[in-house]
Amino acid sequence: MKMSPEAVSRWRKYRAGLSEVVKAKRYRDGHLKIYGLNSESYDVLFTAQHGLCAICGLPEVATMRGKVKRLAVDHRHSDDKVRGLVCSKCNTAIGLLDEDPKKFEAAMLYLERTNA
């Protein structure tokens, strides 16, 4: 549905009046909704993990626009079941290895064999 120019103008005026904190929370909640989460449930996971990646146990260090990114919501792509929060590096690794435990095991064996 296309908005009329008047409606677009009203929307822009409304958005301009919102604080950056409110805008960020609404964006974050909209994104988290994909996984059945909201800001509060994300924060519960974050606190349970002590703010650390569920895989490597380190805090997020990747930045975007000068700010440290939030831990990513790791989920099974088959059904979007949330597994935990992970850092950017671990999230990328999981994706590049197709979430396949056999590929992870093969990579681990390779590294053990070649680093000996």
List, for residues 5-33, the tens digit of each pLDDT value: 887 777 677 667 666 666 566 667 777 88
Q: 84 by DSSP, 3-state: which?
A: strand
**What does DSSP assign to residue 57?**
-
pTM of the model: 0.74
Give the residue among 34, 38, 48 at the shortest CA–CA distance from 84.
48
pLDDT, one tens digit per residue, over 22-77 is: 656 666 777 788 888 988 999 999 999 999 999 999 999 999 989 999 999 999 88
Cα-trace Rg, the chain: 19
CATH code at 35-114: 3.40.1800.10
CB neighbourhood size of 32 (10 A)? 18
